[in-house]
A and B are shown apart, each in its own frame.
Chain A
């Protein structure tokens, strides 16, 4: 049964193998570019998932932090700083800005937090469009150099001029992000994120500093959003205020919700599936948005945990079903039969 294999290691290895073989599989340069951008957006969606999915705080400033990373790397590398220095520096800058923004906004809850962060995101793109001397205004920054080559002791150096090299670079960052998120989410710290999402008052009562917990999640999420932005600037080569625009935030939100919030595979699945589907539906032109709108509503109603969350619950049902067939009795998890003692 395919669904039962999803948890197994070799299934992940197969996906990794396919990911490594992508340069051999892509039909053309255009499609390759879509895959590369999907990888970058998958990093952004994964980090959004941390604050929005796991911690339950709907941050809509995500593209703002992506933009800070993009402008940071764009401006610094154009000024001659190495990409490998500019990237962490920009990500740290975004984390710091996130910390400062978090101090007032994380005190608000629910939709107020969403509105406050949305405002910040919009402000970032307005600044990007109007601080002409620094950001180049609405023309943006063009001619951003590719990531600096990595020197190797014997074989010369790794350059990032070809699409294939760029692809492996973004794939490496995607795997790094996934690794960090995995370690974080399955730690006690990750559990405290989920506790805040589930019941903030109770989280406080069991001894979790809820404000610090939300802050940590927000800062880490913004760090990785800026990381994605920095890579984006260097790979694409030009950025403009639209790189920090809230439309990006909402795209990632759709990837996240369709793929499955609060799962690790969901954001990645969403970030790849939707742009690729969009490409294949080119002939529908603007009507594509309509279809995605309808799809979003259907998913939220019938699969509130998204595609991957839906698959996971199907898997639980399948396992229960097979247990039941083996044992000939309803399984405890599914039967809902009241306990005899009570």
Chain B
């Protein structure tokens, strides 16, 4: 479904990711692990079209997307839930969700269906649908950010560090939600995390990014037992 070939992205003269090649099949649930500054966000922003790669190619559903603007990539069915719970703070929860479905504006019935699904996944959003998004707690904002990304009914969802800055109990809730997005809704999910423990518990396989380079990949249960991963990310 998604195929990166030798992708390099340069930010301010510095190659933040270098020669990254990876492939994700339809329906897979894949983790991207890496510490602060490893290039996880840069990689996601490059895939979503916010940044343009200096080199290499990105294919989504067999189409080259590395030259497309972000809004066209969203329309193709690839949705990024950006790092740091990006929302439209002054707008209500409902309006945030409707904007998430912007690319499907010609299909109000389908949007209504997705809205019900999303409310089922995060009941708190239904309860507070008329509240401005900016007044939410961190966990609720993250739920709304994920829900908004789902509203475009993406074939593939890029989740950039959803656990960042959240309490362990909330992280658990978010992890459960992401799991059901992958398993029950059948969405292909690419999840970037510093919280390797959480990520490797729920995903099928994973990649490890270090200093802008992919250094390791494998099944999640194997990565959990890998000495290097254990040492660097699991604190064991």
Spell out A's residues near B (CB within 8 Å).
188, 191-192, 194-195, 198-199, 201-210, 332-333, 336, 338-339, 341-342
**CB-based nearest B residue for A212:** B71
Chain B 84-102 interface residues, beta-carbon cutoff 8 Å to A: 86-91, 95, 98-100, 102
Given A195-B91, A205-B80, A209-B69: A342 touches B169 (CB 8 Å cut-off):
yes
Contact with A along B201-231 (1 / 0, CB 8 A): 0000000000000000000000000000000
Set of chain A residues within 8 Å of B139, measured between Cβ atoms = 342
User: What are 16 inter-chain pairs, A to B, with CB distance below 8 A?
Assistant: A188-B98, A188-B105, A198-B89, A199-B87, A201-B82, A204-B69, A205-B50, A205-B80, A207-B71, A209-B69, A209-B71, A210-B71, A332-B131, A342-B140, A342-B167, A342-B169
CA gap between A199 and B86 in the complex, in Å: 8
Set of chain A residues within 8 Å of B70, measured between Cβ atoms = 204-205, 207
Set of chain A residues within 8 Å of B95, measured between Cβ atoms = 191, 194
CA gap between A202 and B48 in the complex, in Å: 12
Known contacts A195-B91, A205-B48, A208-B102; 9 additional CB pairs below 8 A are A198-B90, A201-B82, A202-B86, A203-B99, A204-B50, A205-B80, A206-B74, A210-B71, A342-B140
CA gap between A305 and B90 in the complex, in Å: 12
CA gap between A339 and B135 in the complex, in Å: 12
CB-contact partner of A194 in B75, B79, B90, B128, under 8 A: B90
What does DSSP make chain A's interface, helix, strand, loop or mixed?
Answer: helix
Set of chain A residues within 8 Å of B91, measured between Cβ atoms = 191, 194-195, 198
Chain B 45-90 interface residues, beta-carbon cutoff 8 Å to A: 48, 50, 69-71, 74-75, 79-80, 82, 86-90
Distance of A315 from chain B, by nearest CB (Å): 14
Distance of A100 from chain B, by nearest CB (Å): 22
Distance of B144 from chain A, by nearest CB (Å): 12
Set of chain A residues within 8 Å of B48, measured between Cβ atoms = 205
Set of chain B residues within 8 Å of A207, measured between Cβ atoms = 70-71, 74-75, 102-103, 152
Chain B 156-177 interface residues, beta-carbon cutoff 8 Å to A: 167, 169-170, 173
Distance of B223 from chain A, by nearest CB (Å): 29
Given A209-B71, A342-B140: A202 touches B170 (CB 8 Å cut-off):
no
Distance of B128 from chain A, by nearest CB (Å): 7
**CB-based nearest B residue for A334:** B135
User: Which 10 A-B pairs rank lowest in CB-CB distance, beginning with the nearest?
Assistant: A207-B74, A207-B103, A198-B88, A202-B86, A342-B139, A204-B70, A207-B71, A209-B71, A195-B99, A207-B102
Contact B137 A342 (CB under 8 A): yes
Distance of A217 from chain B, by nearest CB (Å): 15
Spell out B's residues near A (CB within 8 Å).
48, 50, 69-71, 74-75, 79-80, 82, 86-91, 95, 98-100, 102-103, 105, 124, 128, 131, 135, 137, 139-140, 148-149, 152, 167, 169-170, 173
**CB-based nearest B residue for A198:** B88
Distance of A336 from chain B, by nearest CB (Å): 8
Set of chain A residues within 8 Å of B170, measured between Cβ atoms = 342
Contact B71 A204 (CB under 8 A): yes
Set of chain B residues within 8 Å of A342, measured between Cβ atoms = 137, 139-140, 167, 169-170
CA gap between A188 and B71 in the complex, in Å: 16
CA gap between A192 and B82 in the complex, in Å: 18
**CB-based nearest A residue for B88:** A198
Distance of B205 from chain A, by nearest CB (Å): 26
Contact A188 B82 (CB under 8 A): no
Set of chain A residues within 8 Å of B50, measured between Cβ atoms = 201, 204-205
Set of chain A residues within 8 Å of B131, measured between Cβ atoms = 332-333
Contact A205 B88 (CB under 8 A): no
Set of chain A residues within 8 Å of B87, measured between Cβ atoms = 199, 202
CA gap between A192 and B90 in the complex, in Å: 13
CA gap between A205 and B135 in the complex, in Å: 22
Distance of A304 from chain B, by nearest CB (Å): 11
Contact A192 B88 (CB under 8 A): no
CA gap between A209 and B148 in the complex, in Å: 17
CA gap between A307 and B173 in the complex, in Å: 42
CA gap between A289 and B71 in the complex, in Å: 46
CA gap between A205 and B128 in the complex, in Å: 24
Distance of B5 from chain A, by nearest CB (Å): 24
